[in-house]
Structure 1
């Protein structure tokens, strides 16, 4: 049996090691990046990218002996990219703790500013069908004992001489509370949009009526849509179609149809709801509710509510 206490000074002194420091805080959270640390192309694109200012943590070990190194990057950090090969490859940009550097006790290097934290590019294998670097390749590049996080991915084309923002994929995983330690199957609400759209007529092609931008942790997400349609005496029955998109991509099922649901005649209203699910990568995503009518009419959406939740696994 072993217990630890990190903030105890009853004897006038206290010693807390890497494991004990902020252990409870570390276990409360998931993810790597608190803010910033985005990989961007050089102002004049070349074979260098930059990691923006920001803060985060790098986890080492496995539960129950895992803990985190908390760090900050206070200025743009340039990372050189290896010369492109005759075939394309995929590189990672990683941040890591260089354990070969001794912790500093010098006032000139307070907060271990003596380059303990580093960012580096890890080159994948050039190929006609390139894949991301393996764990072995990462460990060979930065040192097998050094814990790391991945913040960006680069598409390095054959014989290219510059990396642009279009070649960079964001791989940051943002820090958030671990779903308040909810049991598996519990839903965490990520965002909700309530919109009174009275008087806005449906068009004959898809248009957006509610939007939610929310950060998820990589689990299955559900988009729950509830709305009221009104037929303002169009003189004929209309079909209504609707769907949800995540980052502009349709979430199945799509083109859901309310067939001949709206009767002709003044003041007719109908309520409806549906739920779709998708599992986007961890990070920020934009969810949208879209609808249209089968023909030009006086059919309108009176109210629309879009709620996005993530299911705890």
Structure 2
């Protein structure tokens, strides 16, 4: 694995030992790929998972009369998590640039959306910009962390990836619409159609353990957006932030938000693609697939 960490190497080594010990056939090889996929996905989510765990813990156990406001505690905890990620080399400085960009893009959106009443945070603490506590930017950074890590962990390759300048135009239009739809017509369905048109032919190739797999990239966008929607439900249950219909009592986040997260995925992919240029499945990779499948049929 390219630029792998010790944890990632340990996951592959454990899978090798399992297959060597049991000399697994088709079933064992398939189950191994499935387990390794889950472990690497969990490892890619480590920043977001740690931040979500802190948010849940603060909801359940943080004392209401503490001298440090809960929002300030969450901000400091997020900073500590980020510092540990860099100090332990779980993220590189190159990846950190993307994560900081996610932080800035997300914070700007937060400032606007809270001002127009799309959602709200508890009015407490000093580590904030206006009505937006600084930990909110780290939630977008968690998405960025996942994106850059999964790009490396699964050695992503692409067939028919659209030109990056076209994807940038679509992403820019999506970002503008998050603001402009409060004042003019909402173009999200037209933008969704544009995403399908631009990315519809693109296929993503990813290596799990010994094999490469393929998936239409639009399916991957939807799966990640669905995962974020589930995490958003946990975040609002923890009262890290609330939508207007949740102020009188928690209820599940509207499924309509899934479309917003799907469109936000396009912005995320474009930001990552400007650091990690999407590469095609080259001849050596294509030749390697049959060989890998013979090793693990």
Structure 1 or 2: larger helix share? 2
- The TM-score normalised by the length of structure 2 is 0.24
- The TM-score normalised by the length of structure 1 is 0.23
Structure 1 or 2: larger strand share? 1
